[in-house]
Structure 1
């Protein structure tokens, strides 16, 4: 089991079926809502993020891309957080919680919390700063 991660900044939400089920969407991304913009900023970037499942040995380093899908529309930005396919997100299901945040060493961490586990926080329909 992985050690507890201390965050300097993070946000959490419950995954919808579109976010968790590859049969519903092949996009592998989250909408860049205000909580993610506050966390990640407005500049586009690519980096490696540590994906893990809380309470499990499953952990993967995978690339993420933070970008504006409508960069050519000056009046309408639409940020997205894309992630490459990985074992952690292959285990995601509708109703699981997901935490995205920076640890105290400024590493980007994405933690899946399975529904039914003691650390699952219930239904969180919209991103919430943690």
Structure 2
């Protein structure tokens, strides 16, 4: 398993330190996007600064993408075709108004948006709000 994690980090040109391997393994086990606070709660043995730097490195290199919903930022794994130069995560994010979990709806593509020619679109974030399947039950 460690070799697969190392390989994935090296493919993204990320030095596979022990902490980075642990954080990547953690993200691979998640079904929803997670915040720095969530990560910090589950990583008792690490400090907030190290975890934040790890998230930012992963985001910069195209391994994670961030989703901002108000004042909260959460992170989720990118698709395989994201890179340092381009994030190809043009899907809808769903925020449950009850449990506050954020889901990447990878199969629901963001609509095409026509931007005036004097603007340059770098990223399009669309967050849908409602109840997730668990909270509907």
TM-score (normalizing by structure 1) = 0.27
Give the number of the structure whose alpha-carbon radius of gyration is greater: 2
**More relative contact order, 1 or 2 (CA 8 Å, 6+ apart):** 1
Higher strand residue share: 1
TM-score (normalizing by structure 2) = 0.26
